Amino acid sequence: MADPTGHPRIGRVLLLAAAGVLTLSGATRIMAHGNVTPQAVDTSALPDIQPNNDTWVQHNPYRGNAKAIEIGASAYGQNCARCHGLDAISGGIAPDLRLLELGDSGDEWFVQRYQHGSVREGKVYMPPMGEVLGQKAGWAIRAWLETKHTDE
Ligand code: HEC
């Protein structure tokens, strides 16, 4: 491989430095939203959302979809459980998501929080998740949460 600096060792150091800067800037952007590193969710097995995945809908297109429930369970474990509790059973840090209303009205509240998070008096209670994880992952999590619903 041709080395742009004409010096193999310096070329390699520069490459490593460039990679380091990229990693850092990515991390900072995410850390600014409340110290959480979101884990990417593979949603390729799920149908695209109409008219497109970037236009937010208010009701869950995956309600009752077995594949979505499966993906949602693991996406929740990786991205929400640290605050909302393992298996959606809250330890008290954040609301118990099993109590969210079922159906359309619960969907609307869910997607609002998922997309924008919650900031009160300048303090981040919950980081926004929509942009980082995407809409498909959000509705998959909601589909799973509905299977955990309880009224108590
Ligand atoms: C850093 C901790 C944290 C993480 C991570 C987090 N949340 Fe939250 N979430 C909160 C807190 C705290 C609240 C309460 C916000 C408030 O009272 O304003 C909340 C509120 C919510 C609500 C509204 C609940 C209600 O009863 O009003 C939903 C829905 C929700 N979160 C979904 C999620 C989902 C889905 C994920 C994962 C993709 C997630 N959250 C990740 C801390 C977190």
The pLDDT tens digits of the residues spanning 98-129 come to 999 999 999 999 999 999 999 999 999 999 99
Residues 29 and 13: their CA atoms lie apart, in Å, by 25
Q: Give the number of the atom of ligand 1 that is nearest the alpha carbon of residue 129.
A: 38
Over 50: is that where the pLDDT of 28 sits?
no
Residue 106 β-bridge partners: none
**pLDDT, mean of residues 83-96:** 96
Ligand 1 centroid vs 95 CA: distance in angstroms? 7
Global pTM?
Answer: 0.82
Ligand 1 contact via 110 beta carbon (within 6 Å): yes
Average pLDDT value over all residues in the chain: 85
Under 8 Å between Cβ of 75 and 140: yes
- Our separate counts of H helices and E strands in the chain read 6, 2
Tell me the CB-side half-sphere exposure of residue 143, using CA atoms within 13 A. Answer: 23
Over 70: is that where the pLDDT of 152 sits?
yes
